[in-house]
Amino acid sequence: MKVMSMRKYGGWLLLGLVLVLPLASWAQGVPLINVSGGKGGTQYSLTLQLLALMTTLTLLPSLLLMMTSFVRIIIVLSILRQALGTGQTPPNMVLVGLAMFLSFFIMSPVLQDIYTNALMPYMQDNMAFDKALVAAEGPLRKFMTLQTREEDIALFMQMGKLPDAVTPDNVPFTTLVPAFITSELKSAFTIGFLIYIPFVVIDLIVASVLMSMGMMMLSPMMISMPFKLMLFVLVDGWGLILGSLANSFVTS
């Protein structure tokens, strides 16, 4: 029963441990750590593989967020809030929750592929742990490669002094992840710039009108915010933003 529960627990950790494939593969060949004690001489055993999994558990949130669509979405939503000039509305919790569930929606084909071809065979004892990690890496690598610019991959390949024989399809994960994050930041700020332009135009118009009326002491931001909110609602801004974000990710 203990072995089955540990195996089930390790199966759920499989989704977030693709980055530590070399560490997990190395730990599989390390012998057990045995501890004996107690009145009855009870012996406890712990593999270094499981110890490595538990150690990297604290890194799972960062690993999962940095390898999915979450970064682009949360940055765009934050820029949108600043462009509207609404301060802390919507609050951070709402933006993070919206970005997370939209990320689940966008990443659902990738997660389904990992669940079908890696997680389920491993939990049913039909696949070894190292093979399951390789199977889980494939869909995630494909998604990240499709979103990453070639110049970013080339930059980190040059910084890592990788041989010319290495192509973007088989680039190491330690090189692909920073290249993917860099590309996501570029895409997020590009989308944020395009979102910001209409609201800046409204601010300029309101400021010009106030100046012409001699109301220089009145804050243009306070007057322009209702007009920006009205424009955003009339054009169905949330639907346009979320739909455009979902469509901005290449899936094939």
- What is the residue-level pLDDT of the chain in tens, covering all 252 positions? 434 444 444 444 444 444 444 444 444 444 444 444 445 555 445 566 566 667 667 777 777 778 888 889 999 999 988 888 887 888 889 998 898 899 888 888 888 888 888 878 877 777 777 787 778 778 888 888 888 888 888 888 888 777 765 666 677 888 888 888 999 999 999 998 998 888 888 888 888 887 887 777 767 777 788 888 888 888 888 888 888 888 888 776
What is the helix (H) or strand (E) element at residue 161, kind and residue range?
Answer: none
Query: Helix or strand or coil: residue 121?
Result: helix
- The tokens 């057990």 sit on which residue? 32
**Nearest residue to 184 (alpha-carbon basis) of 96, 122, 132, 245:** 245
- The pTM score is 0.72
DSSP code for 1: -
pLDDT value of position 40 = 52
**Nearest residue to 221 (alpha-carbon basis) of 204, 233, 237:** 204
**Nearest residue to 181 (alpha-carbon basis) of 56, 13, 12, 19:** 19
pLDDT value of position 30 = 42
DSSP code for 172: -
**Nearest residue to 94 (alpha-carbon basis) of 229, 244, 238, 245:** 238
pLDDT value of position 122 = 74
pLDDT value of position 52 = 66
